[in-house]
Structure 1
Amino acid sequence: MILYHSLGLVAGIVLIIILTARYRIHAFFALLLASMLTGLIFGLPVTDILSTIKTGFGQIIGSLGLLIILGTTLGLMLEHTGSTSVLAAYVLRKTGTGRSPLALNIIGYVVGMPIFCDSGFIVLSGLNKAMAVRSGISMLTMASSLATGLYAVHCMMPPHPGIMAATGIIQADVGKVMLYGLLIALPASACGYAWSLYAGRKLPAPIVEAPDITIPSGRLPSVTMAILPIAVPILLIALRSFLALEKKTSSLAIQTLNILGIPEVAITIGIILTLLSLRNGQASNARKILVEGAEKAAGILVIIGGGGAFGAILAKAELGRHIAENPAITGMGILLPFLITAIIKTAQGSSTVAIITAASLIHPLLPALGLHTPEGNILSVLAMGAGSMMVSHTNDAYFWVISRFSGLEIKDMLRVYTTATLIMGITAMAGVYLLSLLIG
């Protein structure tokens, strides 16, 4: 029996990697086919496989769908209202042109909180080129500094889809994952910047001429209105989580904070704050952004649903109970979630697919790994977030976004940016380990 379960598990993972990395099949169909193949190898009846897939798909969409849609919409609204440009200009004023790589890394970290890393890099690529020309610093250093700042929070912080899905699958506390993820992403981002600065100087790349990216100042929100939609939701969610407000109903204020701190409510407040920053005549743009947000989220949701279906098949076969009999695996603790995610990420390229797949595998193993407590759930999710950073290379769409929008050679990208993601993943995992000593 254990042989069939091991074979089914390996076959499912290999099929996902081959279909997504080699044949560029959409991740949803890869996960769906892997679920069916794994179920057949497990010896489950076809009717059971189909019903389990539908149940797993529906459960994960039900728990995360609204949050993903709202989070995606918030990111798009910040992008289209010019809030990201305002934040970028503000950080640049504070750091100065001479510290342009550091400024871009900080900008990436801040802007990357609500915006996907690939979208964030595209939006900020004009600023990146302009700062490279103004400072005289290599485009390779500048692009990698910006990219690593965006990448750190993308992998470690909800509501980004990968770690948000893992949080839902593992049933970890969203607020604590968000706050701890932000803290761990900070040194990871800093290490990415430090390596970009060091390695980029040894491999100077040509500077691309900066385009004209001037935006009429009258259309841009103030710095306060640009940062509030990011800061307020994070603060509300963190307050609800760390103060355990749901257990304290003694006053109206506490009850109100409890409601406002629900992630879906908090992010909706962020969207409302973004709408308030719109100038006259931009109402039609807001309607277009809302449509775009729903459409973009749909593509993410089907991938997350596919991951939920795959996880349901593994749970149906009680895979965790069989694997838990191996003491070599159970003794690895939080290292196992990290390694599984890192292997899948490096093999097939997508951080989102890697962490969703890994979460489906890890969830039934939590008791055997000693991670079935609330703290253990949080540490498992963060360890998978760290693993999803390793290693971004030529099979990662984000790698090509950086290369194409910066005009960089692949060999230079591999030496600087790819190596930076390796260092970032190890740094993030070290942060998770230190956190485990404090809360584990």
Structure 2
Amino acid sequence: MTLILTLLAVVAFIVFATAKLKMHPFLTLLLATFMAAFAFGLPAADIAKTITSGFGGILGYIGLVIVLGTIIGTILEKSGAAITLADVVIRVLGQRFPNLTMSIIGYIVSIPVFCDSGFVILNSLKQSLANRMKVSSVAMSVALATGLYATHTFVPPTPGPIAAAGNLGLEAHLGLVIVIGLFLAAIAALAGLWWANRFAGVEPDGEGAQELTAQAEQYETLKASYGELPKPLPAFAPILVPILLICLGSIANFPSKPFGEEVIWQVLNFLGQPLNALMIGLFLSLGLLKSGDRLKEFSDRISQGLVIAAPILLITGAGGAFGAVIKATPIGDFLGSSLSALGIGIFMPFVVAAALKSAQGSSTVALVATSALVAPMLGDIGLGTEMGRVLTVMAIGAGAMTVSHANDSFFWVVTQFSRMSVSQAYRAQTMATAVQGCTAMALVYILSLFLL
């Protein structure tokens, strides 16, 4: 019981420090790591070594993947490729189902681009369509936001799911994480769309709602600011090619060896490794650069991507250090056996992630911290297999979207750009993320009945 109370105190510190004291998650996780090491009686001489090895270990596996994925997303955002992706979806689906169209656009764009940035980029497009088709901008805002949110929490190369997969030892099986993540994200997006449609007759009631028509008119100006937009093939290639290669690499390494073990297997095994696949995606993104001095523009995009990636890397590394300390103490075995007796299994990582997300606001922090916490105990609760770890990532992702409210920056992006009042945003956006998370978790549980 003392071990559990100690762990709860450490988790409570993480929540309190990030949510109330507004401390940076990196420092919070690092302090929590030292607290856990001393509280659980780790030998003083081993503490620094355990922390540094845990920090470096996770970044050695996944750090460069996070950096490359972030740089690709930055290039897609700054080049106008995200606008091209949205326009292609509109042309394919037409304008008959505007909310579905916005949900699909968000689902695609948020794979490489952060959901906050994605909403800002696509907001004027959303409002333009809402005005053109005389439909509720509240419903379209929630449809776009939940579409963005779905892939943000489930699908690599978004940093949160990548970090969680790395903490759970799945860096060699990202293809499987991507495939199942895309499926779960699609269901979560549909759940968010269902909730969005409940607001089909509702207009925003926040300050500045009358300005939305002017916002819509800015879409053409926004498009014009990018100059000539990228063509669809170059815009999609940096996203789809790496995902396809990673998936093929995972298939090539199935026990049945469907591609044999000769040249084809060697090629797919090499190209399907996440680092190699994303390097190819980065080279493909070079075609999106369009200034006279492409080398300078490329350097600028790398610098911008590194600024975005740096805090994510630090938080991920601190999460790895936290996990290493937990693994070095007896709490993993004890908590694993205790939870096994309770029989909550796959729901445990969901509950922990949901508690962390709802308390401190960041989905990435919830994904990193929860995966580091539960990694040492997966074997004891029946989730130690490859598929068990993949479903654990999905359960954590479901928790990490439950729920987005006032302590989440994405909540305020959606609220302010959509001109919703806080109370309206709670009813529309916050409840939508609750529906998404619970629906996704229910599906994870159903999958676990057949796959574990």
Relative to the length of structure 2, the TM-score reads 0.92
User: 2:272 pairs with 223, 238, 261, which one?
Assistant: 261
Match of 2:193 in 1: 193
TM-superposed CA distance for 1:99, in Å, is 2.6
TM-superposed CA distance for 1:280, in Å, is 5.3
C-alpha contact 1:245 1:257 (8 A) present in aligned 2: no
Match of 1:377 in 2: 389
Structure 1 unmatched runs, 5+:
none
Q: Is 1:272 the counterpart of 2:257 in the alignment?
A: no
TM-superposed CA distance for 1:249, in Å, is 6.2
CA distance in 2 between counterparts of 1:245 and 1:344 reads 35
From the superposition, tell whether residues 54 and 353 of structure 1 become closer, same or farther in structure 2 (CA, over 3 Å).
same
Matches within 5 A, 1:27-426: 27-172=25-170, 173-202=173-202, 204-205=204-205, 206=209, 208=212, 209-210=214-215, 211=218, 212-215=221-224, 219-244=228-253, 250-279=261-290, 281=292, 283=294, 284-326=296-338, 329=341, 331-426=343-438
| Amino acid corresponding to residue 325 of structure 1 in structure 2 | S
C-alpha contact 1:120 1:150 (8 A) present in aligned 2: yes
CA distance in 2 between counterparts of 1:33 and 1:403 reads 33
TM-superposed CA distance for 1:214, in Å, is 3.1
| Amino acid corresponding to residue 240 of structure 1 in structure 2 | G
C-alpha contact 2:98 2:129 (8 A) present in aligned 1: yes
From the superposition, tell whether residues 435 and 83 of structure 1 become closer, same or farther in structure 2 (CA, over 3 Å).
same
Match of 1:436 in 2: 448
- Give the 3-state SS of the residue equivalent to 1:113 in structure 2: coil
CA distance in 1 between counterparts of 2:332 and 2:93 reads 50
| Amino acid corresponding to residue 287 of structure 2 in structure 1 | L
TM-superposed CA distance for 1:401, in Å, is 1.3
CA distance in 2 between counterparts of 1:171 and 1:48 reads 23
From the superposition, tell whether residues 148 and 245 of structure 1 become closer, same or farther in structure 2 (CA, over 3 Å).
same
Q: Is 1:22 the counterpart of 2:20 in the alignment?
A: yes
CA distance in 2 between counterparts of 1:280 and 1:42 reads 56
CA distance in 2 between counterparts of 1:368 and 1:216 reads 55
CA distance in 2 between counterparts of 1:308 and 1:217 reads 39
Aligned residues: 438
CA distance in 2 between counterparts of 1:427 and 1:71 reads 28
| Amino acid corresponding to residue 359 of structure 1 in structure 2 | S
Q: Root-mean-square deviation (CA), in Å? A: 1.9
TM-superposed CA distance for 1:130, in Å, is 2.2
Q: Residues 143-190 of structure 1, C-alpha deviation per residue, up to 9 Å, x if partnerless? A: 111110000000111121221111011112211011100011101101
C-alpha contact 1:8 1:37 (8 A) present in aligned 2: no
CA distance in 2 between counterparts of 1:48 and 1:421 reads 42
TM-superposed CA distance for 1:124, in Å, is 1.4
| Amino acid corresponding to residue 168 of structure 2 in structure 1 | I
C-alpha contact 1:21 1:395 (8 A) present in aligned 2: yes
Q: Residues 104-141 of structure 1, C-alpha deviation per residue, up to 9 Å, x if partnerless? A: 11100011111111111122122223223322323221
TM-superposed CA distance for 1:217, in Å, is 7.7
Deviates more, 1:152-161 or 1:89-98: 89-98
- Give the 3-state SS of the residue equivalent to 1:324 in structure 2: helix
Q: Residues 181-229 of structure 1, C-alpha deviation per residue, up to 9 Å, x if partnerless? A: 0011101101101211213534654451222323268622111111111
| Amino acid corresponding to residue 92 of structure 1 in structure 2 | I
CA distance in 2 between counterparts of 1:79 and 1:122 reads 10
From the superposition, tell whether residues 216 and 33 of structure 1 become closer, same or farther in structure 2 (CA, over 3 Å).
closer
CA distance in 1 between counterparts of 2:339 and 2:50 reads 29
| Amino acid corresponding to residue 101 of structure 1 in structure 2 | N
Q: Residues 343-377 of structure 1, C-alpha deviation per residue, up to 9 Å, x if partnerless? A: 11111111111121111221111111111111111
Structure 2 unmatched runs, 5+:
none
CA distance in 1 between counterparts of 2:363 and 2:47 reads 27
Deviates more, 1:177-186 or 1:120-129: 120-129
Q: Residues 310-363 of structure 1, C-alpha deviation per residue, up to 9 Å, x if partnerless? A: 111111112111113326655211111111111111111111111211112211
CA distance in 1 between counterparts of 2:6 and 2:32 reads 9
Task: Among all aligned residue pairs of Structure 1 and Structure 2, give the percentage whose two residues are the same amino acid.
Answer: 41
CA distance in 2 between counterparts of 1:363 and 1:303 reads 17
CA distance in 1 between counterparts of 2:43 and 2:384 reads 30
C-alpha contact 2:352 2:370 (8 A) present in aligned 1: yes
CA distance in 2 between counterparts of 1:287 and 1:215 reads 24
TM-superposed CA distance for 1:295, in Å, is 2.2
CA distance in 1 between counterparts of 2:45 and 2:121 reads 47
CA distance in 1 between counterparts of 2:38 and 2:337 reads 23
C-alpha contact 1:240 1:258 (8 A) present in aligned 2: yes
